[in-house]
A and B are shown apart, each in its own frame.
Chain A
């Protein structure tokens, strides 16, 4: 495993940590989700190029398609939250609070 692979996996882990911690905005976690998808795309493309196995390039393309779907649904939820509460602050989502 070369240091470039290590750096890309580190980028994935940093985005994962950023997605799991909330500060004030919800859309910041969606951005970290996008970062995770991008690091997975880069990793899969590098593996496809370095093992000289171009058929594996199907996987990052399909990953990008489903990441786009996921982004669309996440942003739609964000818009509906923003329509209800005015902003997408995380502390507005307290209906299930005991």
Chain B
């Protein structure tokens, strides 16, 4: 249980290898969704409740759904999965082997003296809270500050989204 964050990050890398080895895009989308779920749990483990929720809603619920039906429109008849063909399988196995060897090497380090990467300062990962109003602090304060200190940024981002929708309509128009 002490190494849960490290295990989740290893699973994240394996999920990323799953879609970077370029199977057919529908399977790549599946691997990206699984990686998104693992990444959201990583964020939740570090106390980022609001950011994890936003990642689920916006990222997985919004962008992956759009990717899903766009891929369904532009897909071939026999999509190739990870087991069909040597290229995708080779890429996946090379990626997984690289990650396993990296994990074994990292776990064999005793002191973080010679190498930068080490387990010696995992005390930084402890999340502590101050007293009082403990239920509404945390990530929500940073998201609330977006509308306070960064109100011009919100206006610019909203306008960018609006113009982006217009750009999309003009691109898809065709002629």
Contact = CB atoms under 8 A, between A and B. Distances in A.
A82 B69 CA distance: 13
Interface size, A (range)? 35 or more
Contact of B116 (A1, A30, A38): A1
B46 A49 contact: yes
B13 A14 contact: yes
B74 interface: yes
Interface in A16-72: 17-18, 21, 23, 25, 27-28, 30-32, 34-35, 38-39, 41-42, 45-46, 48-50, 54-58, 60-62, 64-69, 71-72
Contact of B46 (A50, A73, A76): A50
Given A8-B12, A62-B157, A38 B6 contact: no
Interface of A: 1-4, 6-8, 10-11, 14-15, 17-18, 21, 23, 25, 27-28, 30-32, 34-35, 38-39, 41-42, 45-46, 48-50, 54-58, 60-62, 64-69, 71-73, 75-80, 82-83, 87-88
Interface of B: 5-6, 9-10, 12-13, 16-17, 19-25, 28-29, 32, 35-36, 39, 42-43, 46-48, 50-51, 54-55, 58-59, 62-63, 66-67, 70-71, 73-74, 76, 87, 95, 99, 102, 106, 116-119, 121-122, 124-125, 127, 137-139, 141-143, 145-146, 149-150, 153, 157, 160-161, 164-165, 167-168, 171-172, 174
